Structure 1
């Protein structure tokens, strides 16, 4: 049974991650909090708040703090795209965060585990409709990192590692506020594809995309165009599956009688 008083929060970095989810939602309202897009909509009598954080740990942490202050959610879903570090994950597959690591100034540290009960609930709920969520380890970095180097550092200690840029920061804020969190990501690039650019080349100091920087980088290195086109297609493919998983996650969480 839905809990009429329940509030759920969601954090995602980019419009490309959010748009496929909103396409499956009817009747959302768009607002703004601390200069960030905030979307609000009902699911089974509960109120869901989705904030667009922007890329990188600093942006994700600030957005999560704003979300917690504004919505006081009973649980938080973090979702987005990620790059596979080791073979075993294909583009479009979905990965639940079982472990979360932070890569900061070359040092790799592990955070306390995301909520295992929520992860199990979502995995089982998605399995009922034939949607597989695999479990893996997220590595949150402040930019694009070399996958071969990450694989070497992990040494096989983590199943299905995925490189991304926000989850550790969102998790830290959620756990600091005593809020359970579950994270879902879709694979946008396989382990055998090293991205040929750095995020700093496309962004300002706050990791906001700057169109002229993108155009300038491509004009100087036109061989990036095929990779960017392929990555865009991969994100569309992963985004559709990710949006379905997020919708199912919302259904599962809002049908619980307890947070």
Structure 2
């Protein structure tokens, strides 16, 4: 049976998923917790990778090597870059990239990719899940960028916006997409907005962290609910 790997950086981002999981067992690899079980009849591995790209990359590789996942969904929270994307909206990744690595370095050095494309079918499934769980116009599809710092100044936000034209910013998705690309594993990143990546980001993050995390996880639950895994591909019921 095919397996879905679901990753969150924070425990709050995966708590609802674990509550819905059937008969799970916990394994620890390289310090990361991996919960193995089923969601709506699909075999899933849920993990909390911790904050930052290095943690996310290591955990993603473990998901692939140790648990043999065939699809990866990253759930969590993010800071909005665009004014029309508001707190508690959901962003689905069209692609991901690192905002703290120069573009010429991305293209001139292995693996010679400026961005990492999310899987088209997983994007569509996430879109349909958003449409069935969220209010109208509360979800967006766009680029998600990641870096090793919490973005909390308007200057840095504007610099990232000018250079990458992303929908939102966070600290893990690009590393997950990077490793998934290297291993030819389909992925998608789903993020609910907790703040506006400006001077009020920390206060907004504290106020909306749990709400946004649960909203993103709810979208993932709906995705998995609508999925039937069959040999070689994702098939919707």
**TM-score with structure 2 setting the length:** 0.83
- Does residue 123 in structure 1 map to residue 127 in structure 2? yes
Partners of 2:55 and 2:213 lie apart in 1 by 21
- Which aligned pairs between 1:62-101 and structure 2 lie closer than 5 A? 62-101=58-97
CA 1:192 to 1:185, structure 2 compared with 1: closer, same or farther past 3 Å?
same
Partners of 2:149 and 2:197 lie apart in 1 by 16
CA contact (8 A) 1:86 1:151 kept: no
Alignment equivalent of 2:98, drawn from 95, 99, 102: 102
CA contact (8 A) 1:87 1:192 kept: no
- SS of the equivalent of 2:226 reads helix
What residue number does 1:190 align with? 196
In structure 1, runs of 5+ residues without a counterpart are 197-226
Q: Which moved more, 1:169-178 or 1:120-129?
A: 120-129
CA contact (8 A) 2:6 2:45 kept: yes
CA 1:192 to 1:172, structure 2 compared with 1: closer, same or farther past 3 Å?
closer
What residue number does 1:222 align with? none
What residue number does 1:180 align with? 186
Partners of 2:189 and 2:67 lie apart in 1 by 19
Cα distance, 1:233 vs structure 2: 2.6
CA contact (8 A) 1:11 1:53 kept: yes
Cα distance, 1:129 vs structure 2: 4.4
- Does residue 235 in structure 1 map to residue 231 in structure 2? no
- Does residue 151 in structure 1 map to residue 158 in structure 2? yes
Aligned length: 221
Partners of 2:164 and 2:179 lie apart in 1 by 26
Structure having the higher Rg:
1
Cα distance, 1:30 vs structure 2: 2.3
- Does residue 133 in structure 1 map to residue 131 in structure 2? no
- SS of the equivalent of 1:240 reads helix
Q: CA RMSD in A?
A: 2.3
Partners of 2:77 and 2:160 lie apart in 1 by 22
CA 1:50 to 1:153, structure 2 compared with 1: closer, same or farther past 3 Å?
closer
CA 1:23 to 1:233, structure 2 compared with 1: closer, same or farther past 3 Å?
farther
- SS of the equivalent of 2:227 reads helix
- SS of the equivalent of 1:155 reads helix
Cα displacement string for residues 214-252 of structure 1 (whole angstroms, at most 9, x for unaligned residues): xxxxxxxxxxxxx2xx42230121122112101012123
CA contact (8 A) 2:38 2:44 kept: yes
Partners of 1:140 and 1:154 lie apart in 2 by 12
